[in-house]
Structure formats: structure tokens, C-alpha cells
Amino acid sequence: MTERDGPEVIGRRVQQLRTERGLTQKQLAEPAYTPAYISTVEAGRVRASEPALRHIAERLGVAYEELATGRPAHLATDLRLRLTDAQRTLATGEAEVAAEQYTALLTEAEGHGLCAEQAAALLGLGECALETGDLATARQRFEESEQRLGDAPLPVRVPALRGRAVSHYLAGELRYSCYLFESTLDELNRTGLHDPDALLLLYTGVIAPYMDMGAHARAAQAAEFALALAPKAGDPALVARMHRSVARTMIAEGRIAEADTSLAKAADLYRQLQIRTELANCHWMRGYLYAQNGELERAESELRQAQAMLSERRAALYSSQVAVELADVLHRRDKSDEAAALLHDVLGDLSSERGAVHSAAAHRLLGIIAEDTRDTETAEEHYVRALSLLERAGAAGDLADLCRLLGDLLRRTGRVEAALDAYRTGLGHRTAPGTTTLGPAPAQPPL
């Protein structure tokens, strides 16, 4: 039902339109109403019924919606169609063009007081900012989108909440990202708001921060729930994202063939939907899969393709993250000089607030390359920098391995006590695999 303006506002609008058209109150009223009734409507002393307003609108030659709200007829429908166009532009990788479209739509929606359309435009602007790596702006836009939705049901607010959680994850705030995902999942399950798309969006999103925190058991459980929810989901792009995320847990469990199949499903869906950036991310994940399986030539090919596609789309943060994984493959293929050059090129685009885990991985790899050339001082500097980044992010999954590398280096250079401290730090992050300190994992949804 259309949300109408108050009686006084509608009354002034009726009077203005009647005067512009040169009609008397009697002419406007006939044949169903009296001039006196039109007078009370124009004075704002009575809330006209819907049939009365439809009669008046017809006599004035305007749409009922325009008379009741002041908005041009079909404005909301037109805005939603244009929001879909902007979403399609973003899907093809043109984030900057999409941002211009969303900004224009936001201004128009604000001018007409359309809150749902404002929220959708802000959500789109948040996704554009994620794509270009502007995490602070992304987080702000997602928060504003959520505010515009006000008291809307939680499933409606989930895309904005997921956007906030991803922004914090990419900024290296893994624990807070997990908290946002888990608390939202708990509320959905506790209150019986079992929307399949909302649940799938959240269980898919929480996999990456779980994996980086070393919470592999929780990641596997989230993947299991996501796979079970997928047949009920209505958004094919969401199902494709699920297949890509779930593949990461399969790789960790050594289920290489299943992971490859899952990535193939995701890539096919993205090709059909023409979502270029996500298709690039599939090549990225496939490169990671082949690297884990020791197929380095195939891994290099997939990662180079992913980086080329992301660079073409100006997805700077994602492109830099792929470059780090490509450098690892190059180093393992005895192309260490090329790997080091690539890492130095992208390190300026990564930091503790922007791609912290990959920034740490870059320093770790530069440390290994320095050790290969017996430059232990430079190697130690890179390891210590990586350790600081991982501790800040809470990326326990990578901390233990880094502590081993640092401990081995310290031991070889005669600093036994410092080496023991490094080993102990690493052991501390291996004491409880598959857990976090966030309390119980989210409950299983009704499937």
C-alpha cells in the first residue's frame, strides 16, 4: 500500500493542482462529492479516503500515487530498474561507472524520500568501494544503508551487515568480522527468520575469516550448512559465490577434485551471469588450488589470468592480493627475482588496515627469498613485520608457520632464547585448532 502524505500536505497539493487547471471546487467534486467536502480536503481538516483521492486524481489528470505522495507515477519502479542496471554495470567490473550511477540514484531517491531505494543505492556504493579497495568508504556506505532500512526485518538488512563484515575482514579485523557474521546468524536462527538467501550469504561470508583465523572446523561446518541451503536459495550469483567459498575448505581438507568441481560450477554460473570480477576470483581460487596441489605451471597460468582481469577492472586490492599468491608460485618455480619485484610493486597497496593477511604473506615470502640469498638481517626484518601484521589481525592459521620460520632463523644465528620464544608463540596458536574465543559456533539452520 502506498504511504501517503499527511492531510494538510495533500490538501495544499489538491488546491494547487485545481487552481493550475482552472477548476472550481464544484467541478472537482462532481459527480460523487460536494464542493464542501473538497473545501475540507484542501484545508487539511479531513483525511480523504482512498476512493475520494482516486476520484480527485482522475479529475485533476494525475496519477493517484503522485497526488498521495507528491512523487511522479512509477518513480519507485523506475528507480529499481535503474538500480538493477547499476548492479549489472558493477558486475561487468566497471566499478567507477557503477558508482556514478548509484550516486545519481541516491540523490534522486533522497529527493523523493524513498528509503528502500536509498538503502539499495548505498549498498551498491559500498560494493563499488569494496571492489576498488576503499575499505573505509565501503564500511561507511554499508552502515548508512543499514540505517536507512531502520526497523526493516533482519533478512532485509543482511546484505548491508555482510558488507560491513567483509570490510572489516579485508581491513585485517578478522575477529570482529566473525563476530558480525556469527551474531547475525544467531539472531536469524533464534528469531525464526530462516530466509535461505540471507543465511546462505552469511554462512558463505564467514568461511574466509574462519580460515584465516585457523578455525578450520568452524569453516568446514559453515561450508556444510551453505551447501545444504543452496538448493533453497533464489539468487544464482549467491549460489556461485557459495561454491567458490566452499572450495577453500575442501582444499584445506585435501579434497582437491571436489574443490575443482565446485570452482567449475561457480565459474559456469558467473559466465552465464556475466559477473566478470567474480569470474576473476574463480581463476584466483583455482590458481590457489593448483598451487596447493603442486601443479605450479597451471597455478601460474590461472593466477596471471586472474590478475590481468582484476587489473583491467581496477580492482586494486584484489589484484594486489592475487599478486602475492602469484609471487609465491613464481618463487617455487625458481623465479625468485621476478617474485621479489612483484611483491615490492604491490606492498605499497597493502597494509595493516588494507589486506593485512596478504601484506603479511608478502613480507613472509620476501623473508624467505632473503634467506635464500643468506641476507639474514633483511629476512628477519620481513618476518618480524609479518608477525606484527598477523598478530594484529588474529590470523592464527598463518602465525604458527611464521613463528617456525623466525625461530629457525634465530636459532641458526645463535640466538637460542629468542628462537625458543618464537617457537612458544607459534605453539600457542596451535593449542586449540578449529576454535576461536568467540563462544559457541552459530547454530545449524533448519534445513
Whole-angstrom distance, CA of residue 290 vs CA of residue 247: 12
pLDDT for residue 399: 86
Contact by Cβ (8 Å): 370, 362: no
Identify the CA nearest to 97 among candidates 79, 77, 124: 124
pLDDT for residue 441: 60
pLDDT for residue 445: 64
pLDDT for residue 73: 63
For the chain, what is the largest distance between any 2 Cα atoms, rounded to a whole number of angstroms? 102
Backbone angles phi, psi at 51, to 5 degrees: -60, -40
Residue 2, exposed/middle/buried by CB under 10 A (0-12, 13-18, 19+)?
A: exposed
Show the cell assigned to 284: 584466483
Letter for the amino acid at 156? Answer: V
Letter for the amino acid at 241? Answer: R
The model carries a pTM of 0.79
Distance between first and last Cα of the chain: 33
Task: List all residues 6 or more positions away from 384 whose beta carbon is below 8 Å from its beta carbon.
Answer: 406
pLDDT for residue 305: 94
Contact by Cβ (8 Å): 222, 208: no
Distances (CA, A) of 172 to 43, 138, 209, 288, 336: 59, 14, 9, 20, 27
pLDDT for residue 440: 58
pLDDT in tens, the chain (447 residues): 456 788 998 999 899 989 988 999 999 998 889 999 999 999 999 998 889 999 998 888 888 877 888 777 677 778 889 999 999 899 887 889 999 999 999 998 898 878 889 999 999 999 999 998 999 999 999 999 999 998 889 999 999 999 999 999 999 999 999 999 999 999 988 887 678 899 999 999 999 999 988 888 899 999 999 999 999 888 898 899 999 999 999 998 999 999 999 999 999 999 988 888 889 999 999 999 999 899 999 999 999 999 999 888 778 889 999 999 999 999 999 999 999 999 999 998 888 888 889 999 999 999 999 999 999 999 999 999 999 999 888 887 788 888 999 999 999 999 999 999 988 888 876 544 434 444 556 666 665
